[in-house]
Amino acid sequence: MKQKIFTYLFVFSILLIIFQFMNSKRVFEDMNRQLGNYKEQYHLYKDSVNKLENEISELSHFNFSKNEDALSYFENKGLSVNGLENHIKDELYKLNEAKDEHPIIPYASSEGRRMMINTIKLLNHKWIISDFSDGEYWGEVFLTYYINEDKTVDFELAESFLYPFN
């Protein structure tokens, strides 16, 4: 009797071990498959991040805040570069408040409207590109700028373009 109980216990133990082995093998294979999927996703995301970093680097090539030569130019003149970009933009936006026609934009606006500068991009220590519109007509201007000793900014129109009206 005792021997039969031990035999049954032994067989039951073997069956339990086989069940545990098969179950853990299935769980292990499932985890490996998930890990493989995560590795694929990681490589896809890493490639996407690298592509976006390269694109950002290309787009920021003509960017005032990332242009060390332009920043050094102002530092050598004794100007603080902190807030300088905003100061230049504010001075250009103030020209939108001028009475009659805009002093920089060489095109007349439609009747009852005013040409106004919308977006400004400082390219370096001398050049600005900007777009303008009166709500009906729009275009772009390429400006040169100079900062005077009293921190006022003089703008000079270099080129301009008005998009054709459809």
Do 131 and 73 share a structural domain?
Answer: yes
Do 85 and 45 share a structural domain?
Answer: no
162 with 137: CB under 8 angstroms? yes
Q: How many domains does the chain fold into?
A: 2
Do 45 and 85 share a structural domain?
Answer: no
Do 81 and 50 share a structural domain?
Answer: no
pTM, two decimals, is: 0.67
Per-residue pLDDT reduced to its tens digit, 99-133: 888 899 998 888 878 889 999 999 989 999 999 99
Per-residue pLDDT reduced to its tens digit, 62-102: 888 888 888 888 888 888 888 889 999 999 999 999 888 88
Domain final residue pick, 19, 43, 59:
59
Q: What range defines the domain where residue 145 resides?
A: 64-162
Kindly tell me the sign of the dihedral angle through the C-alpha atoms of 103, 108, 111, 116.
Answer: negative
Do 71 and 55 share a structural domain?
Answer: no
